[in-house]
Amino acid sequence: MTEVTRKLEILRAAMAELGIYALRLRGVDWFSWATGGGSSVVIFTSETGVAEILITQERALILTTVIEGSRLRAEEAPENFEVLAFPWEDPGAAENFVQQNIPFSREIYSDRPQGVEKALPLSFQYLKMILSPEEIARYRRIGRLASEAMSEAILQAEPSWSENQLAGEGARSLWRRGLDPALVMVSGERRSSLYRHPVAGEDRLGGFAMMVFCARASGLYANLTRFVFFRPPTDTEQRRFECVSAIEAVAFKNSTAGRPLAEVYHALAEAYRERGVGEEIHRHHQGGPTGYLSREWVASSSCPEDWRLSAGMALAWNPSLPGAKIEDTVLLTERGLEVLTLDPRWPSFQLEGRARPELGMKI
């Protein structure tokens, strides 16, 4: 049984159990999941793509326009799906098709509901977040390529480079490996201590640089952060790096199957407090499960009790302090955590039995 066939069977069984007549999946995340790694992305900044998926017990359809139809049939749509391409001049054509083919009295659920449609229940979110063996194999490859692209780009940097120049090298390294540069964020020495989301600008890098990737392929996100120093780190900089590494280790220790996401957040909050930096947790989110979105959920104290970690989920925690941050994408397995985004060529150190990235040095 192919991955896509298995997913359609699981979806249809869940639909039958809950009395759902049809599913409308509009997000680029769900498109990639349902098609086994296909893509409906044209504009990177949109959470919905150039096609949507419509599933009933009898049919699995991709609804798009004639602009995209032939390409989607040839390159993105598995044989399980029919591709229906409507005139691009008629923006309501797909909606009219659904209304004409789905009885008004029947329940329609959607990841992004409109009108009388209902939101997907949490059980469907788990279907997307708990990865199959095929997805895990793709994820390992994506994580390796993303970490290699990071190493290649950031170790080319010079103190005189602008943040934009380094961001450009990061995007180029990702594109060369077939990865979407969904996010390439860079800050130099001055802005790293000022902002938690320092979108690249014209500042010179100076004494060090931070680069953040959200790299995407087959719909899956590999998230990672690295620093390169062009001078020896100060004692304060080194202590901050050691602090965020220790806080991340607390997140890893608490990342176990069945653990409520809110509990992991509370453990992180305590780790910040114990190190005398309790307020810093409020200045940036700490990450959480990743996968077909850069963050499927974000950990916080208000996460519902039924938001729980499970084996087969990917996670990306990112504790931070002014001028310090650590982040990798890991897989939660029955045996523990597997780091997916560590380039073996990048210097690392052992922390509680796990290899973690060092500060890069180019002195």
* Tens digit of each residue's pLDDT (9 = 90 or more) over 261-278: 999 999 999 999 999 999
Which residues are registered as beta bridge partners of 336? 333
Q: Do residue 61 and residue 182 come from a single domain?
A: no
- 3 state DSSP class of 136: helix
Q: What is the pLDDT of residue 109?
A: 97
Please determine, for residue 353, whether its predicted confidence score (pLDDT) is greater than 80. yes
Q: Do residue 113 and residue 196 come from a single domain?
A: no
Please determine, for residue 230, whether its predicted confidence score (pLDDT) is greater than 80. yes
DSSP letters, 155-206, are: TT--TTSBHHHHHHHHHHHHHHTT-EEEEEEEEEHHHHTT-SS----S-B-T
Q: What are phi and psi of 91, to 5 degrees?
A: -65, -15
Distance (Å) of CA 294 to CA 59, 77, 160, 220, 233: 30, 23, 31, 8, 30
Q: What is the pLDDT of residue 210?
A: 98
Residue 302 DSSP code = T
Q: Do residue 187 and residue 304 come from a single domain?
A: yes
Q: Do residue 122 and residue 157 come from a single domain?
A: no
Which residues are registered as beta bridge partners of 325? 320
**What mean pLDDT comes out for the span 80-103?**
95
* Tens digit of each residue's pLDDT (9 = 90 or more) over 44-59: 989 999 999 999 999 9
Which of 104, 128, 152 is the last residue in one of the domains?
A: 128
**Count of Cβ atoms closer than 10 Å to residue 116 Cβ:** 8
Q: Do residue 162 and residue 282 come from a single domain?
A: yes
Task: Give the C-alpha separation, 69 to 320, whole Å.
Answer: 44
Q: What is the pLDDT of residue 105?
A: 82
* Tens digit of each residue's pLDDT (9 = 90 or more) over 203-222: 999 999 999 999 999 999 99
Q: What is the pLDDT of residue 362?
A: 94
Which of 96, 128, 160 is the last residue in one of the domains?
A: 128
Grade residue 104 by pLDDT with cuts at 50, 70 and 90.
Answer: confident
How buried is 285 (Cβ within 10 angstroms: 0-12 exposed, 13-18 middle, 19+ buried)?
middle
Domain with residue 291: its CATH number is 3.90.230.10
* Tens digit of each residue's pLDDT (9 = 90 or more) over 112-140: 999 999 999 999 999 999 999 999 999 99
Q: How many domains is the chain built from? A: 2
Residues 6+ apart with CB under 8 A from 212: 183, 184, 185, 186, 223, 224, 225, 325, 327
Q: Do residue 235 and residue 141 come from a single domain?
A: yes
Q: What is the pLDDT of residue 58?
A: 96
Q: Do residue 204 and residue 88 come from a single domain?
A: no
Which of 128, 150, 171 is the last residue in one of the domains?
A: 128
Which residue reads 């893509």 in tokens? 39
Domain with residue 60: its CATH number is 3.40.350.10
Residues in the chain: 363
Q: Do residue 196 and residue 290 come from a single domain?
A: yes
Grade residue 363 by pLDDT with cuts at 50, 70 and 90.
Answer: confident
Q: Determine the structural domain holding residue 183 and report its residue range.
A: 133-361
**What mean pLDDT comes out for the span 57-62?**
97
Q: Do residue 326 and residue 183 come from a single domain?
A: yes
DSSP letters, 236-300, are: HHHHHHHHHHHHHHHHHHT--TT-BHHHHHHHHHHHHHHTT-GGGGGGS--EEEESSSS-SS---
Task: Give the C-alpha separation, 81 to 84, whole Å.
Answer: 10
Please determine, for residue 1, whether its predicted confidence score (pLDDT) is greater than 80. no
**What mean pLDDT comes out for the span 334-354?**
96
Q: Do residue 115 and residue 137 come from a single domain?
A: no
Q: Do residue 172 and residue 310 come from a single domain?
A: yes
Q: Which has the minimum average pLDDT: 77-81, 104-108, 250-254, 304-308? A: 104-108
% the chain with pLDDT above 90: 98
Q: Do residue 255 and residue 290 come from a single domain?
A: yes
32 contacts 220 by C-beta, under 8 angstroms: yes
SS3 content of the chain, % helix, strand, coil (to 5): 35, 25, 40
What is the bridge-based pairing of β-strands 220-229 and 348-351?
unpaired
Task: Give the C-alpha separation, 25 to 53, whole Å.
Answer: 5
Indicate the average pLDDT of the chain: 97
Task: Give the C-alpha separation, 328 to 337, whole Å.
Answer: 11
Q: What is the pLDDT of residue 125?
A: 94
Please determine, for residue 348, whether its predicted confidence score (pLDDT) is greater than 90. yes
The 3-class secondary structure across 88-112, one letter per residue, is CCCCCHHHHHHHHHCCCCCCEEECC
Of 15, 6, 89, the closest CA to residue 56 belongs to 15
* Tens digit of each residue's pLDDT (9 = 90 or more) over 9-56: 999 999 999 999 999 999 999 999 999 999 999 999 899 999 999 999
Q: Report CA 191 to chain centroid distance, whole Å.
A: 25
Task: Give the C-alpha separation, 283 to 225, whole Å.
Answer: 17
Q: What are phi and psi of 292, to 5 degrees?
A: -85, 0
